[in-house]
Amino acid sequence: MNATPTTSLPRVEEDDDLPVSARIRSRLTAAKQRYHANDNIAAFVMDGEVDALRNEVEAKMAEVLESLVIDTEGDHNTQETARRVARMFLTEVFKGRYQPMPAVTEFPNIEQLNELLIVGPITVRSACSHHLCPILGKVWIGIMPNEHSNLIGLSKYARICDWVMSRPQIQEEAVVQLANILQDKVKPDGLAIVIEADHFCMHWRGVKDDDSRMTNSVMRGSFLKDPDLRREFLSLLSKKND
Ligand SMILES: [Zn+2]
């Protein structure tokens, strides 16, 4: 689902001759909205524009292959590559930039649960903003609810995580983005997130370091104040990791 034109979008004179990316960019700049690689811009993308972006990226990707001196007409392996890569970027691996957040239903904490809840491991599939190389890993989420917290279905954690990760990312920023969303939706007493991921730009290029796992964590609220709770979370997590 894409955002349809609404009154919340700033009125900008739009030139239909401009590429669709330029039209979307002019809306973003008019609204003074950041559009870094790991930002979601769905509110500025109108119906049908993801398809138009895909066509635009396909044409530019064909030029990249041309500049790499690859004979995309003669080489049957790369004839469709520009189209495949454009589709993969817009509708698969970077879809978290162009699609709105998955719908999440929150339930009041009627049972007044106040026990540590751990969700994970959830599979992380992303790409680094620096090289657009894959990042593959796992994330664990710890929630310490209170009577005012909202509860969300277990599968929603995975869907929100996938939405945040399906963008060119920086692992340290991804973990904070995920924490901010969960803090807002669940409103827990404490929130802990650990991401452990493998960065393929380290294997494939550069130092070719085979030990390229990176771990990041965010601890908030009671996880920050209570070392016992933090220890409990981390010990359960290491057991689950075995
Ligand atoms: Zn990289």
- Between the alpha carbon of residue 73 and those of residues 27, 78, 85, 86, 106, the distances in Å are 37, 8, 16, 18, 52
Percent of the chain with pLDDT over 70: 92
What is the CA(139)–ligand 1 centre distance, in A?
Answer: 19
The three-point CA angle 177-112-233 to 5° equals 50
**Quick one: pLDDT at residue 17?**
85
The band of 14, judged by pLDDT with boundaries at 50, 70 and 90, is: confident
Q: Rounded to the nearest whole angstrom, what is the distance from the C-alpha of residue 203 to the centroid of ligand 1?
A: 10
Per-residue pLDDT at 240: 62
Comparing C-alpha atoms, which of 215, 214, 231 is closest to residue 223? 231
Cα 179 to middle of ligand 1, angstroms: 22
This prediction's pTM: 0.90
